[in-house]
Every structure is written in structure tokens, then in C-alpha cells.
Amino acid sequence: MSAAAVPNLRDLYLSESGQIRARYQESGDGMAAVRERAALVDSIAQQLYSTFIAHEPGSAEGFCLAALGGFGRKVLFPGSDVDLLFLTADGRTEQQYKPGIASLCREMWDLRMRVSPATRSLAECGRLYRDNLEFNVSLLDCRYLAGDPQLFARLHDVVVPQLVVRERQALVQNLAELTRTRHTKYGQTIFHLEPNVKEGPGGLRDYNVACWLALISALEKRQPRPPAGLLAQELREDCLRAFDFLCAVRCFLHYRQGRDDNALSYELQAEAAAAGVGAKANRALEPAEWMRLYFRQARIIDRAATQFLDDVEGARSSLYHAFDDWRSRLSNADFQVSHGRILLRQSTAMEDASTALSLFEFVARHGLKISRDAEHRIEKALPLLRQRLPGLPRFWDRLRTILTLRYAADALRGLHRTGLLTILLPEFHFIDALVIRDYYHRYTVDEHSFIAIENLHRLRQAEEPRFAEILAETERPELLFLTLLVHDIGKGMPAENHIVGSLQVLDPILARLELDADAADTVRFLVANHLEMSVALSRRDIFDPETVRALAAKIGTPERMKMLCLLTYTDIKSVNPEALTPWKAEMLWQLYAETINHMNRSLDEERLHPGQLPVARAHPETTGDELKEFLAGFPKRYLLTHSAAEITQHLRMAEALAEAPVQLSVEKRSHHYELTLVTTDRPMLFATIAGTLAAWGMNIVKADAYCNQAAVVLDTFHFTDLFRTFELNPTEIERFQNNLLSVLSGELSLAALMAGRAKPGGMRPAKVTIQPRLTFDDHSSSHSTLLELVAQDRPGLLYHVSSKLAKQGCNIEVALIDTEGQKAIDVFYLTVGGAKLDAARQKALAEALLQDI
Amino acid sequence: MTKIEAIIQPSKFEAVKEGLQEIGVEGMTVTDVRGHGRQKGHTEVYRGREYTVDLVPKVKIEMVVPDDLVERAIQAIVGSAKTGKIGDGKIFVSHIDDAIRIRNDERGQGAL
């Protein structure tokens, strides 16, 4: 029989298809379109069944036609395959109906439908096909079309459920494996410049996976089947809305392309936006705004699928079980760890703001995922958390902890996903799913910030050793992480540029966090200047001394330079996976190294003059004149590295010299002690202080020595208490200070002190051998000779070095002392008799120093 | 047809690109490269470690132009890239036997 035997079928199909398309284009309702199309194909298939099969003898028994896959779910997209199952009671029946099956399929092909037929017996449907588990999965969506209803009922109500119960593990594992493979193919991210709305993470296939897993779970528990393709109980409304949106998009693509093409290309994004596909009332949107809508929906679907997948209990290897058991030991009073996910104990009050944050601290620490149930409990607690979280005391302490833990990005994504991040930082809403629509920015702005934090943490895994070392030297890395979180908020604001926008919202954020003034200044500075190095890389000659000088002047201090370099590194690296090429990383590092070297070598040149009045740094208690006089002659860096309060303290110490010739203070910091000493310059001063510290068993990690025009010396030493002398005996701090005063006044002999106190044997043997290195530089400063010294760090090293300098008649104009692991890195600006060191003096000094180090 | 290969300072790329576009050169291939000339770079020290600045980052621009555009293209590049200092870069010029557009098999100057 031919199509002529089914009169007007072609006309019917074309006409109805056209009307479905017209209705879709009018309404934008993708769900309605796919349902109508499924109903149309139902009708066609049933008519053709009547024509080619139903007339056969005995056709009422032992044979039926069913819909599978998307067709079975009544979700048939314009370009999708039509999956048919010709079900027979046994193998003999199949032969009888072969001609009819062939005719039916041929007719559907002639109608331009892509038919995907399968012929199976009932027994065959009950088998697990390990090399074709997709067929078994497609049976989950089977739907009666025509033929023997009892036969179909046995498939739908008995055979398939029995298969699921018996082979649940294999089915679920297979689905999980297929999904993971697919996600890996798409880079484990929903963020693509041209996403695939069907196969990509967060796409329609992920929705199907979530539905199948829920269905398998229901069948296993002998619960009623949910409506095909819908999971009203399992998935939230926003997931169903996201599915509706994706249906509309896929319909748009199929109609536009005339085939099963699911790639949302750059050009098609603009068309979809202009047509308002999936938008409220089909309102036309700008392409970037429309893609923001897309990513918000994809994120919802991705989350649902991920949660269902994470619930999968596979027959994993015993090795995995052993690892899993180990992770369960991380459980605590509030959180239980099971199968790599965090569950809330019954008693855990998610409504408590502190507990809610503790959960994400737990995620940041261990990198574990939050279970579906735990996320539901957070959602239920949201109304109360909205009231309680903003007032959380010591919020910065909690946020700092999260930011600096290894899996901070995972925790932040969790906070964002559950809505808690925008409660804590309402400003973050500006960049929620915000798209920067060009071929360079792959991620939405919020995701870019999370990835940047992730990349900064990855540096610690020694991905890029040079930059990893810079991170290790950074004094307050938490400020860097905070900057990464907020630096691009301005992109979502109507400001003249995103830096201005970010700075506008920054002050309220910093105020809520109650950061100290220096920290707030640093974050402000980093946000304001986070593009400086990128601009220098792309638009300036980084080997031009003027470029370096200008950058150094703008950045000011080595500490800020380090932070800005890391900020630039991670910012570029997080734009897209290829953005930070080795070429660019090399340029960045060279610019950083040149600028840091310039900062350290030009200290002497850039001094404060009496005419300069640092009004901004003046403390209300000081007068302009006394401050000017005190500051005159100090390097400009002094102003940049000390707060107004510190400068005032130093000024007061200088004023008190009239009463006591040496003023000093010792203060405890978070990881070290800080000795500040103000006195008039004298020979052997620096060496004496260093020696006294060494005699007390203190390890100097950093030191600065400056001298002003009035020959007032300001020395700052950061040291660690190797033997915990001060920690265990706080009264020893005062005794140390008295000791130092006595040594400086000559009442006590330093040599005797050093002979009688702790020996350097307390240090562990060096793990790394540092070759000593001395470099003299007569060009960087017009007044002094720079000596750069690198040596194996040990207690007393600085004393020995500075003693040698003094014995050789050198005056230390400026000293910059630093330690990097077991490496001492010291820079001295030296003069002899007010002039640079001549060649002979340099040679003698080098020989003397090398003997010691 | 002539191929022009220019190795320039990265900071000059935008200016060179605009200059070429102004005279009608639209197609070009741009690569991030590193290299050195006769100077061979120098050694620097950062925190006690030596690093050699010998392979300096540059940008290489390649284009194939009709013969009558060659001189103007060279002048556009030189005009935008020149600073007068060591490291400005170089331009290489070579003859091209043929050019083929893959999409439609078009050959010769029309394929440019």
C-alpha cells in the first residue's frame, strides 16, 4: 500500500505542523508546541497503524505500537526523532508484522519525520542490555499508541518496573556515567559562549536525567509513576519553569534551523533575544540580558541534575568505599558526612545564622557537597535567615575564614545558589548571572569571581611556582580574596565604568564588614587599580624604565605590588581557560619583578622634603610643622607603609627623645612580634639591636631602618619568638626592653649577652641550601651604594652582617630585611663618609661578609 | 601577491592594526611570540634569583597583500611601531605564489 491509501495524510501533517508552528511563534509557548506536535504524530502513527497493520489477521492480540523517548514523554520537538517501539508478545509474531512495520516506517519517513523504530518482544524488553542501556532507559518513557492494550499494560506495569527493581544499580550507574561523560565533554560547566541547549550541562538532557532518576526511585519504592516527564513532587517550580524556557528555546532553534540543531550560536542568541523567546510576554531583550536569563535557567537545571546524580549510590570499588568511610569521619555535632555529601543532623537548626555559615565553612574546608535534603532545609529556613544573617556579629571573621580555605569557591557557589550570599552581600545581586557578551568573557560575572578565587587557591598547589611564591609572601591574603569577590560588582551597575561602580558599592560593604582602616584602604586600592597591570601589559612597553617607574609610583609599596600582581594573574586567568597564555604570564611576571626591583632600589631617591605636607596622614593631635620636621628625609615609602596612628606614635616617640635617648615598644601581632625603636643615629646601632634580638633567641623575619634629616633613626623589626619566651613569660618582654636599653647605653655588653644566651642549635637543619650571593649596585641610587645580600637564614645572621658593615665603616642609610622560607634577602643602602662605596671598599666588604655567611 | 611578516612590540599592536586597516588591509594573522635580536637580552636578579630576560615578548603580524599595497603597508607598520629604541622589531617581505579560498576554491588575488 502507498501513501495514496492514506489520503490527505501528507496535507494533514503539513497543515497541522504549520499551524503548530504559527501558534508557537505567536505565543512563544514551547511546551504547548511540543505537546501539540506529539499529539499530531500520535494521530499520524495511529492512522498508519490502522492502514498497514491493524487489518492483519490477529492484529488485536500480541502486538502493539508504543512511543518511547521524548515522543513517549509527549515532548516532541520539531526536529527530533520519533522513537517507536513495535512490541510483540513473542519472536514469532514479529515475522508476521514485518511488512506492515516496514510500510508504516516508510510512510513516516516520506512525511519527513525521522523515525527511529525498534522491534522487541516483551521478554526482550525485560532484559538489561549492558552495551545499549539507552534502550532500557528509553523504555521508562513508554506510552501506548495502538494495538493490544493488554500487551502494552504488561510492559508498562510489570516488565519495566520489574526490570528497574532488579537492575536499578546498573541503570542508575549508567545514567550517571553517561551524564558525567557528557558533562566532561562540555567542560563540566554550563558557561559556554555558544551553549548546546540539549546536551550541555544545565540543558534538556540534564532535566531528563533528573526525571529518570526520580522515576527509577519511585518505581523501586513501588510508588505510583509520576506523570511522564514531570516530577511535580521532586522538582521545584523554578525547575519546571526552567524546563519551559528551554523548550521554548529548542523549538526556536529547530524551527529556525529546519533540523535538530541545538547549538545556541552567537547570532541565534541575538535573534532569540529580539524575539523574546522564553521571556515574559515574549518581550524583546538585549542579547546579553537574554543570555543572563538563559544561564539562570541552566543553573537551576544543572543544580537539580547534580543533586539527583549525587544521590546515586553506585557499586563503587572497595577503594572508593574506604575513601568514603574516611570522609565520613569528618562528621561533627551539626553535620554528618555520608557518601561524600553533607547531611544535616535532625537537631541542627538551620535557622540559626551562625550554624548556616558554619555549614559553608565546612564546605570550604573539606570540599564536600551539600545534600539535596540539606539544601531543602536551608531553603525552608530562608525567611528567618533573611532577618538574622545581616546582623551576624563578627561577620568579617566568618567570611575571612571561608575565603581563605581551600574550597572557598565551592562554598561561595553554595551560598549563592541557596540565596544566602545575596543576603550577606546584597550588592552581589548586581552581577547574578550577568553576561559580558563578547568572545572573550566566557563566564558570567559572578562565576568569574568564584573562578578567580578558585584559581588563587590553586596557586598554592604549585601550579605556577613564581606566582605561588608571591602568594606565600603576601601578608594579608584574605584581603586579596575579598577583592576578587567584589572587584567586578560594578559591571552590573549603571556607572561610567565598572571600576567606578565597584567603588561606589565598596564602602558600604567594607563598613558592614568592619574592616580596619588599613585593610579597607588596601581593598579600595586594589579594586580601583585592578586593571593597571593589564593595561601596562597590553599598551605599554614593559621594558621601558619609565613604564616601570610610573607603575611603581602608582602602586607605592611592594606589598601592594604583590597583591596587584596576583589579582591581575587570577583575573585574566578566570576570563576563559585560554586567556592567560604562558606568554602573557611571562610578561606579567617580568613587569612585576622589574617594578619590585625598582621599588627596592629607588628608595633612597624618593625622600620626603620639608615642603611636602602629608595632610591626609596627619593625626588630629599633631601639628603640621612638627610632623613635617619629623618626616623630612624619610623615604616616601614610609608614608605608604604606616598608618596615621603609627606615624603619630613614631612622632611622639621622637619627641620623647629629649627625656630618654632611646624610645622603644614591643607589640604582639598575629604571627610575630614588632619592635619599634626611635633614637638618634650612631655607629653599630642596627647591629646592636639585631644582636640583642639574636641573643634572646628571636628570629628576625623582616626589618626596616630609616633615618630622617635630623638623624633620627626609626627601626622596625618583625621577629618570631623561636623558644616561646614571651608567650610563656609575658613579663620577659619588659626585661627584654630593659636589656636592649642597657646594651644601647653601653651598660651591658652585647658580646657577653650573646655568649650567655641561647645557642643557634635550636634551629632545625636547613631543608634547602641557599647559596650566598652579594650584589653591589652603584646606579640605582645617586647617594648610596646598594648591597643586595642573599644567604641561608639563621638566628644571628643579621647581627653578623650588620656588624661587618659597621666594622667596615659603612653607614646604613636604609635597610630592607626580608625572609623567604630559609632564605634571608637583605638590601642595604650604604655610604661611607656620606658617599658611595668605592670599588676597593666593596671588595673588602664582600670578602668580609662571605666569610660569615 | 606579497607576504609581510612584522614582529613588533606588543604595546604597538593596536596602533599598527588600525594603521593597516586605514589603508585597506583587513585580513591578518596575529601570534604572541617571544624572541630577541642581536642584543640577546640581559640577566636580572629578583630576590636573590637570577632570571634571564632574553626571549622578550613580541607580537607577530602576518598578512598577504596585493603587490601594489606592499609599500604602503610597510610604511603603515613602521609609522605606528617605531619608537627609535632597540626592540622596535622587524619586517620581512616575501613573494607568494598563490592563494586559495577554501570555501569556494577561488584562487589568486581574488582569494585575499
What is the per-residue pLDDT for A310?
A: 76
Chain B interface test: which of A473, A578, A586, A592 (most B C-beta within 10 Å):
A586
pLDDT above 70: percentage of residues in chain A:
92
Select the more confidently predicted residue: A85 or A310: A85
Contact B2/B64 with Cβ under 8 angstroms?
A: yes
| Domain-embedded: residue A556 | yes
User: Please, where are the H alpha helices in A771-838?
Assistant: 797-807
In the block, cell 535538530 appears at A260
pLDDT, tens digit, 9 for 90 and up, residues A238-293:
888 999 999 999 999 999 999 999 999 999 999 999 999 999 888 999 999 999 99
Size of chain B in residues? 112
- Put simply, the answer to whether B48 touches A773 (Cβ < 8 Å) is yes
- Put simply, the answer to whether B57 touches A587 (Cβ < 8 Å) is yes
pLDDT, tens digit, 9 for 90 and up, residues A818-847:
887 788 889 999 999 889 999 999 999 999
Regarding whether A244 and A162 lie in a shared domain, the answer is: no
Question: Is the pLDDT at A463 greater than 80, yes or no?
Answer: no
Regarding whether A579 and A455 lie in a shared domain, the answer is: yes
pLDDT, tens digit, 9 for 90 and up, residues B26-38:
899 999 998 887 7
Nearest chain A alpha carbon to B81: A541
Chain B within 8 Å of A825 (Cβ-Cβ)? yes
Regarding whether A138 and A283 lie in a shared domain, the answer is: no
Name which of A850, A799, A789, A796 is nearest A824 in CA terms. Answer: A789
**Highest mean pLDDT out of A401-405, A536-540, B106-110:** A401-405
Compute the distance between CA of residue A151 and CA of residue A60 in angstroms, rounded to an integer: 10
Q: What is the number of structural domains in chain A?
A: 5
Regarding whether A144 and A14 lie in a shared domain, the answer is: yes
pLDDT, tens digit, 9 for 90 and up, residues A67-86:
999 999 999 999 999 999 99
Question: Is the pLDDT at A202 greater than 50, yes or no?
Answer: yes
- What's the mean pLDDT in A30-51? 95
- Put simply, the answer to whether A538 touches B48 (Cβ < 8 Å) is no
Chain B within 8 Å of A537 (Cβ-Cβ)? yes
Chain B residues with beta carbon closer than 8 angstroms to that of A593? 44, 46, 51
What spatial distance separates the first Cα and last Cα of chain B, rounded to whole Å?
9
Among B11, B48, B51, the residue with its CB nearest the CB of A541 is B11
Compute the distance between CA of residue B10 and CA of residue B81 in angstroms, rounded to an integer: 9
How many other CB atoms are found less than 10 A from the CB of residue A478? 18
Least confidently predicted of A462-476, A610-624, B30-44: A610-624
Chain A residues with beta carbon closer than 8 angstroms to that of B9? 541
What is the per-residue pLDDT for A5?
A: 52
- Put simply, the answer to whether A538 touches B34 (Cβ < 8 Å) is no
Question: Is the pLDDT at A315 greater than 50, yes or no?
Answer: no
Question: Is the pLDDT at A233 greater than 80, yes or no?
Answer: no
Interfacial A residues in 737-796 facing B (CB < 8 Å): 770, 773, 775, 788, 790
- Put simply, the answer to whether A581 touches B56 (Cβ < 8 Å) is no
Sign for the pseudo-dihedral over CA of A335, A336, A338, A340: positive
What is the per-residue pLDDT for A359?
A: 95
pLDDT above 90: percentage of residues in chain A:
57
| Domain-embedded: residue A184 | no
Contact A802/A689 with Cβ under 8 angstroms?
A: no
Q: What is the CATH number of the domain that holds A109?
A: 3.30.460.10
| Domain-embedded: residue A173 | yes
- What's the mean pLDDT in A507-528? 93
Angle at A181 between CA A178 and CA A184, to 5 degrees: 150
Regarding whether A835 and A758 lie in a shared domain, the answer is: yes
Least confidently predicted of A66-80, A174-188, B32-46, B74-88: B32-46
Chain B residues with beta carbon closer than 8 angstroms to that of A818? 47
What is the per-residue pLDDT for B40?
A: 66
What is the per-residue pLDDT for A616?
A: 46
Regarding whether A492 and A345 lie in a shared domain, the answer is: no
What is the per-residue pLDDT for A490?
A: 94
Regarding whether A218 and A155 lie in a shared domain, the answer is: no
What is the per-residue pLDDT for A234?
A: 56
Compute the distance between CA of residue A535 and CA of residue A552 in angstroms, rounded to an integer: 14
Nearest chain B alpha carbon to A541: B11
Residues 6+ apart with CB under 8 A from A102: none
Look over chain A and give the mean of its residue pLDDT values, rounded to a whole number. 88
What is the per-residue pLDDT for B47?
A: 78
Among B11, B48, B51, the residue with its CB nearest the CB of A540 is B11
Question: Is the pLDDT at A226 greater than 70, yes or no?
Answer: no
| Domain-embedded: residue A411 | no
Question: Is the pLDDT at A623 greater than 50, yes or no?
Answer: yes
The minimum CA-CA distance between B74 and chain A, rounded to whole Å, is 21
Beta bridge partners of A85: A66, A118
What is the per-residue pLDDT for A317?
A: 47
Q: How confident is the model at residue A612 (pLDDT cuts 50, 70, 90)?
A: low
Q: How confident is the model at residue A213 (pLDDT cuts 50, 70, 90)?
A: confident
Chain A residues with beta carbon closer than 8 angstroms to that of B34? 583, 586
Range of the domain at A584: 425-600
Contact A146/A45 with Cβ under 8 angstroms?
A: yes
What is the per-residue pLDDT for A304?
A: 87
Question: Is the pLDDT at A397 greater than 50, yes or no?
Answer: yes
Regarding whether A337 and A295 lie in a shared domain, the answer is: no
What is the per-residue pLDDT for A322?
A: 60
Chain A interface test: which of B8, B49, B52, B55 (most A C-beta within 10 Å):
B49
Q: How confident is the model at residue A231 (pLDDT cuts 50, 70, 90)?
A: low
- What's the mean pLDDT in A114-139? 92
Asked which of A308, A339, A358 is the last residue of a domain, the reply is: A308
pLDDT, tens digit, 9 for 90 and up, residues A275-286:
999 998 889 999
How many other CB atoms are found less than 10 A from the CB of residue A807? 13
Regarding whether A653 and A554 lie in a shared domain, the answer is: no
User: Please, where are the H alpha helices in A673-796?
Assistant: 685-695, 725-728, 731-745, 750-756
3-state helix, strand, coil in chain B (%, to 5): 30, 40, 35
Compute the distance between CA of residue A100 and CA of residue A98 in angstroms, rounded to an integer: 5
Q: Output DSSP code: residue A281.
A: G
- Joined grid coordinates for residue A45: 502513527
- For chain B, the domains span 2-111
- What's the mean pLDDT in A678-698? 92
- What's the mean pLDDT in A675-694? 93
Chain A within 8 Å of B11 (Cβ-Cβ)? yes
Q: φ, ψ for residue A253 (rounded to 5)?
A: -65, -45
Regarding whether A705 and A839 lie in a shared domain, the answer is: yes
Regarding whether A255 and A359 lie in a shared domain, the answer is: no
Nearest chain A alpha carbon to B11: A539
pLDDT, tens digit, 9 for 90 and up, residues A720-759:
998 899 989 999 999 999 999 999 999 999 888 888 765 5
pLDDT, tens digit, 9 for 90 and up, residues A780-801:
888 899 999 999 988 889 999 9
Chain A within 8 Å of B87 (Cβ-Cβ)? yes
Compute the distance between CA of residue B14 and CA of residue B4 in angstroms, rounded to an integer: 17
Asked which of A308, A331, A362 is the last residue of a domain, the reply is: A308
- Joined grid coordinates for residue B96: 607568494
What is the per-residue pLDDT for A1?
A: 45
Name which of B99, B76, B74 is nearest B21 in CA terms. Answer: B76
Q: What is the CA radius of gyration of chain A?
A: 36
Question: Per-residue DSSP letters for A83-117?
Answer: EEEEEESSHHHHHHHHHHHHHHHHHHHHTT--EEE
Q: φ, ψ for residue A279 (rounded to 5)?
A: -85, 160
Chain A within 8 Å of B18 (Cβ-Cβ)? no
Regarding whether A661 and A535 lie in a shared domain, the answer is: no
- Put simply, the answer to whether A593 touches B46 (Cβ < 8 Å) is yes
**What letters, b where the CB count within 10 A reaches 16 and e where it falls short, cover B14-46?**
ebbbebbeeeebeebeeebeeeeeeeeeeeeeb
Q: Please, what CATH class does the domain formed by B2-111 belong to? A: alpha beta
Q: φ, ψ for residue B7 (rounded to 5)?
A: -110, 120
| Domain-embedded: residue A209 | yes
Contact A637/A662 with Cβ under 8 angstroms?
A: no
Among A541, A586, A593, the residue with its CB nearest the CB of B44 is A593
Asked which of A252, A273, A308 is the last residue of a domain, the reply is: A308
